[in-house]
Structure 1
């Protein structure tokens, strides 16, 4: 029974991730869904000393390693309305749909996170409960998958209540996004 409930939760989270990703993808075309005025979404350049676009996720950042979350860096043009930054790590493929990390309310002046930042997040930030039911970075395990490390600049703070679901937090991030960027690792080494 618990396995079935867990599978249903994973499927629901995957559907929500797909919905949020669709909203964010649509917003990259010049408008944020649900607002009456079109807003341009700025681009964020996302990089990492340990990850390369389109290359495998190093094993040490998977469930077979011990490093936790990988280091990330980001930059974009100055955005005077930027208040916070959010990071969402997810995958959306037939083999490995899920959300592995949601870190939000990172100060807008922060432009990088060191290795294993999930264990010592920036002051004032929060971490949502991910697909597995754990808060923090949940290292991916499926060898064949595309793991997206997305960074969002937000025009406000993500207000979260203890009863909020993962989909609620992701929706708030989508509603506040003014810039976005992504680094995708394909498969696990």
Structure 2
């Protein structure tokens, strides 16, 4: 996906700073809550947002923890503990993570420190994806429609 030429959107969490440890309450073996996320103004013509969280340090390759899309363009944050519903009241849809679950599942590294990337995409339309889409399907739909991108990385060690 061509990302280098798109504007940057600030993505942050009140729960942890970029590059810092993700608190245990957001880990799969604990409360397994999705962390609160906040972002800045998107580029003009943004019609929806999508977000992916993944761990590139997983032993078998990148492990996907969250796929969420068709977030309305006026939304600037996701609260802690998002429900795991396939479709939310505002039209937001959730895809499947690498466990095959809908919604967020937090860090659960086998050993060592892993990096978890939350990647926000500003898109020029709603994505024609049913609930339960994969990261691969999402990124294929975003291709050619990306207007801006934000990223937040946190770490977790078991």
TM-score between both structures, scaled by the size of structure 2: 0.86
The count of corresponding residues between Structure 1 and Structure 2 is: 153
Greater than 3 Å deviation, 4+ residue runs: 118-122, 161-166
Question: In angstroms, what is the RMSD of aligned CA positions?
Answer: 2.2
Q: Which structure has more strand as a fraction of its residues?
A: 2
Structure 1 position 179, deviation (Å)? 0.4
Match of residue 86 from structure 1: 50
Cα deviation, 1:75-104, whole Å, max 9, x if unaligned, reads 03x532110011110111253621110110
Q: Which structure has more helix as a fraction of its residues?
A: 1
Structure 1 position 182, deviation (Å)? 0.6
> Aligned pair in 2 of structure 1 residues 67, 162: CA closer, same or farther (>3 Å)?
closer
> Aligned pair in 2 of structure 1 residues 134, 27: CA closer, same or farther (>3 Å)?
same
Structure 1 position 162, deviation (Å)? 6.6
5+ residue gaps, structure 2, are none
Q: Distance in 1 between matches of 2:132 and 2:99?
A: 16
TM-score between both structures, scaled by the size of structure 1: 0.73
> Aligned pair in 2 of structure 1 residues 112, 67: CA closer, same or farther (>3 Å)?
same
Choose the corresponding residue for 1:135, options 102, 105, 120. 102
Match of residue 27 from structure 1: 3
Q: Aligned to 1:130, what secondary structure does the other structure show?
A: coil
Q: Distance in 2 between matches of 1:158 and 1:180?
A: 16
Larger Rg: 1
> Aligned pair in 2 of structure 1 residues 122, 74: CA closer, same or farther (>3 Å)?
farther
Correspondence list, 1:107-146, <5 A: 107-119=72-84, 121=88, 123-142=90-109, 144-146=113-115
Q: Distance in 1 between matches of 2:157 and 2:74?
A: 31
Does the Cα contact within 8 Å between 1:151 and 1:181 map onto a contact in 2? yes
Correspondence list, 1:14-53, <5 A: 23=1, 26-28=2-4, 30=5, 41-53=6-18
1:184 is aligned to 2:153: yes
